[in-house]
Amino acid sequence: MKRPPIAAVALGLLAALASLIPIGYLLLRLFEGFEAALAELARARTLELLLNTIGLTVSVSLTALAIGAVQAWLTVRTNLPLAPVFAVLATLPLAIPSYVLALGYVSVFPSFSGFWAAWFTLSLATSPYVFLALSAALISSNFAAEEVARSLGKNRWHVIQSVTWPQVRPAAFASVLLVALYTLSEFGAIAILRFDTFTRAIYNAYRGSFDRTSAAALALVLVALTLVVIYFERRYRGDRWQAPTAAGRKRRIDLGRARILAAFGLGIIGLFGAGVPLVSLIGWSVNQTGFDLLRLGELVASSLAVAIAAGVVIGIFALAISVWNLRYSSRLSGAVDLTAWAAHALPAVVVALALVYFGANLVPGIYQSIWLLLLGYLILFLPNALGLVGTPIALVPRSIEEVARSQGLSKNAALTKVVLPIALPGILAGVALASLTVLKELPATLLLRPNELDTLATELWQATEVLAYSQAAPYALALIIIAGVPALALNAQARKLISEVS
Amino acid sequence: MPLLEINDVSVSFGDTEVLSGITLELESKQLLAVLGASGAGKSTLMRLIAGFDSVGAGSIVLDGETLSDTSKTVAPEKRSIGIVPQDSALFPHLNVGQNIGFGLSALSKEAKAERVRELLRLIRMEEFASRMPQELSGGQVQRVALARALAPKPKLVLLDEPFSALDAELRGQLREEVRQVLRAEGATAVLVTHDQEEALSLADRVAVLREGKIIQVGSPSEIYNSPADVGIATFLGESVLVDGKVSGGKILTDLGSLSALNNVAEGATGVVAIRSENFYLQPNPTGDSEVVGRVFFGHDALVEVQTPKLRIRARSNGPFAPEVGMRVTVWVRGAVNFYPSS
């Protein structure tokens, strides 16, 4: 076993340590101020937050599941007219950050707020996750098995229940988990729609009153909820079986006249998920008086600069861990890889809160500097980046590396001259996606940014805080154009699906 | 009265006519093989019978009940027709017993368990009831798929290339088992296949399908011994085609004067199809033909022979197959099929 490059080990260990900060902070809080936390949690307000958060998470998860499942079944399995168009339409909300979606509605209907508004907005914003997972599962499920079930006397609805659903259930549960976690950690849309859940309360506790004890106590409850969601998904998603490769021709189910009705229904969903908010944002942007184009240019430039810097940092760490764990794997590299995932699913508000504490108490000078912000992005987005950067490396066949070795290259030279160049396009796409995610990030950016740094997201946020929705519209549009659309275009799952459906 | 009647069925997808004027009948407890190359329309025919597609013209009648015609298509679940698809399509989330019992929801719990046990016994997989499909071998998967189709005692079973995913040895073995299982259940079945050996060895009747039309229907020996045209003759086993002319009731060819199986018109020209096993190669140092190639299979051998005017391939008994370089005289045993050129 060759020793891994020292740089990879050093970067990997650093990233693992960084990823442990939020958990360390939470544990510290738990032990330090247990009684204070209990007192905080005993307030009636906590119960209200709990009910709000759980109610929203459950209702959004179920609604997104219903929307995504219907969209997936109709576009993949039936003779719906213009199926590829509807597939694109169903993924379109991915290009719109959820707080932008919320802004699109609230700017037209100022009374659009509270539970139903949050439920409506987040259900539409998260349905693409279910749609993508379920349509991929439907495509790879065995169509012939459904026909066999028909021939054994089951009607169409019974076949969906007894054959189709069990085959896609693991994908459905995994995507609903994603939606639930997304809802639990959502901050921007909920705050704009003035509905109180834990994330908004944590932010306000810290921002409004600098009440760290209260913020930390609420954060602990939120993390506990997150763990419950993960537990339920593991427990109830059912056995995973190897999906047999689907053979035979893929016949689409004839909906008859109902296909027009189905197309109409999907059109309405698409209209609410993307059409209405886009039109309203465009309308406000066009009818803007005294609009400062220069300011927009500055914000785009500063947003891009921060996002690219963060993308590069995240990319370097992800690359180091991937190379170490995939090509020189050892127990230590496995542990580092696992640790990097520790912060996965932690709400950004909680991570930011931990870093504020870390910066203010342990590393003076880093607080309110760009470095703390970059550290926050690293912890938040490293898990996703590990998948994005690791996959293209894992896909380079070992045999290619072995041929390179037999041609006289050392293991490290084979890596730098053969493996990495082959994987480079995939790695760059991963870095680009990480940058685009950073571009849209709101809560951690708000809490960790240096005072002089304004981005599109923070400027949009400040405008909504003073209810200047029309002012925020151009920033929202800019975010969709420079972050949302490219992210959707780079989304491998969405691309694969759309090519399969057409 | 035949159990299954397919009357003048045609179907088109877009502008292409996939099946035209298909007429077939099948008696109860018989096995009909539909033999054709890929793209001949076999799978489409199966889907029409099963009720997954509608006919463009004609009708399909099972046990006196019209299942498909231009005005209606009875839903697949109301037809009592079991299917065994090509990839078997076992339900991946159910074990073997649950797969077999899937279509038995009308039975009581005890009757269902008993029927499942009966079928497991029939396919000799009693101890596999609680295995998951992915833990089975290819042959076992197909046996379970067959048992699942037979479980509700359908009026008809459709087998779509059920052996194509298996290797040659397993295929032969499974073919025999399937025949026994179908017989034990008294099932009526339609098998579609591109494998002529499978069709000939398994079926009571064979229908040859080409480019969406039925070319010939008959017993396996009729189809093999008297192919309706040159195409079928070469499709069913190896045949050598030789030009010939009818003269005095015999056919004059480069291989001598041969007698025809079918009626021939005096003076007609055309080709004769001679099966490779109908040649007899007599070793003869002064013979006019020479062995130029030999592929040895053990039980027999395929011998390539250069005659003065032709190159032929003859099947020869393994131990007695002549070696390359030997001189032989070529004889044609028995009568041949003559196809006049149109």
Identify the band that residue A394 occupies on the pLDDT scale cut at 50, 70 and 90.
confident
Question: Cβ contact (<8 Å) for A155 and B77?
Answer: yes
pLDDT(B186) > 60: yes
B25 CB-side CA count, 13 A: 4
> Over 60: is that where the pLDDT of A155 sits?
yes
The upper half-sphere exposure of residue B268, i.e. CA atoms within 13 Å in the direction of its Cβ, equals 17
Distance from CA of A233 to the nearest CA of B (A): 18
- Mean pLDDT on A76-87: 89
pLDDT digits (tens, 9 = 90+) for A175-228: 898 899 899 989 999 999 999 999 998 888 888 776 777 788 888 888 888 888
Mean pLDDT of A439-445: 91
A145/B contact by beta carbon, under 8 A = yes
- Residue B302 Cα, gap to closest chain A Cα (Å): 36
The answer to whether the beta carbons of residues A458 and A306 sit under 8 Å apart is no
A16 against A244, higher pLDDT:
A16
**Mean pLDDT of chain B, nearest integer:** 89
Q: Percent of chain B having pLDDT more than 90?
A: 43
Chain-chain contact of B92 with A243 (C-beta, under 8 angstroms): yes
Q: Report the complex ipTM.
A: 0.74
Contacts of B103 in chain A (CB under 8 A): 149, 151-154
Over residues B63-88, the mean pLDDT reads 90
- Entry pTM: 0.79
Tokens of A399: 């045999």
Contact B82 A241 (CB under 8 A): no
On the question of pLDDT at B156 being above 60, the answer is yes
State the pLDDT at residue B59: 95
End-to-end CA distance of chain B: 38
| Cα A83 from Cα A98, distance rounded (Å) | 25
Residue A246's pLDDT band, with cuts at 50, 70 and 90, is very low
Question: Collapsing DSSP states into helix, strand and coil, what is residue B336?
Answer: strand
Report the chain B residue with the minimal C-alpha distance to residue A143. B89
Question: With the C-alpha atoms ordered A248, A250, A254, A258, is the resulting torsion angle positive or negative?
Answer: positive
Partner residue facing B85 (CB), from A154, A242, A248: A248
Report the alpha-carbon distance of residue B167 to residue B164 in Å, rounded: 8
Number of Cβ pairs closer than 8 Å across A and B? Answer: 89
Q: For A111-129, what is the mean pLDDT? A: 94
* Contact (CB, 8 A) for A214 and A364: no
Residue given tokens 């000939």 in the structure block? B200
pLDDT at residue number A239: 57
**pLDDT, tens digit, for every residue of A257-279?**
889 999 999 999 999 998 899 99
Q: Band of the pLDDT at B88, cuts 50, 70, 90?
A: confident
**Interior/surface letters A421-433, b for 16+ CB within 10 angstroms, e for the rest:** ebbeebbebbbbb
Percent of chain A's residues with pLDDT above 70? 96
Residue of chain B nearest A155, judged by CA positions? B77
pLDDT of amino acid B327 = 92
- Choose the closest CB to A144 out of B85, B134, B154: B85
Q: When comparing pLDDT for B239 and B7, which is higher? A: B7
Note whether A350 and A22 are within 8 A (CB).
yes
Asked if residue B3 lies in contact with residue B62, where contact means CB atoms within 8 angstroms, the answer is: yes
Distance between B304 CA and the closest CA of chain A, angstroms: 39
Q: Using a CB–CB cutoff of 8 Å, tell me whether B138 touches chain A.
A: no
Could you read off the pLDDT of B23-34 as tens digits, one per residue?
999 999 999 999
Q: Are the Cβ atoms of B50 and A243 closer than 8 angstroms?
A: no
pLDDT attached to residue A250: 63
- Closest CA–CA distance from residue A448 to any residue of chain B (Å): 48
Angstroms from B236 CA to nearest CA on chain A: 26
Q: Are A461 and A446 in contact (CB under 8 A)?
A: yes
Which helix (DSSP H) or strand (DSSP E) does residue B34 occupy?
Answer: strand B31-35
In this predicted structure, what is the pLDDT of residue A247?
46
pLDDT value, residue B196: 87
Residue A69 pLDDT greater than 90, yes or no: yes
- Residue B213: count other Cβ atoms within 10 Å of its Cβ: 16
Query: Could you tell me which residues come within 8 angstroms of residue B157 by beta carbon, excluding any fewer than 6 positions away?
Result: B81, B82, B83, B84, B146, B149, B150, B182, B187, B188, B189, B190
For the segment B301-327, what is each residue's pLDDT rounded down to a tens digit?
889 999 888 888 888 887 778 888 899
Q: How much is the pLDDT for A235?
A: 75
E strands, A447-490, in order: none
Q: Is the pLDDT of residue B120 over 50?
A: yes
pLDDT band at A2 (very low <50, low <70, confident <90, very high): low
Give the per-residue pLDDT at A329: 84
Q: Which residue of B has its CA nearest to A253?
A: B52
What's the pLDDT tens digit per position in A299-348? 999 999 999 999 999 999 999 999 888 888 888 888 888 888 777 778 88
What's residue A145's pLDDT? Answer: 87
Out of A153, A243, A248, whose CB is closest to B87?
A: A248
Please report residues of A whose CB lies closer than 8 A to that of B93: 166-167, 238-239, 241
Q: pLDDT tens for residues B189-243?
A: 999 999 888 899 899 999 999 999 999 999 999 998 888 888 888 888 788 888 8
A140 shares contact with chain B (CB less than 8 Å):
no
Q: What is the pLDDT of residue A238?
A: 60
Interface mutation target, options B78, B87, B90, chain A, most CBs of A under 10 Å: B87
Query: Does the structure show a pLDDT above 90 at A40?
Result: no
Assign B65 to helix, strand or coil: strand
pLDDT score of A248: 46
Distance from CA of B227 to the nearest CA of A (A): 31
Could you say which of B89, B134, B152 has the minimum Cβ distance to residue A153? Answer: B152
Mean pLDDT for chain A? 86
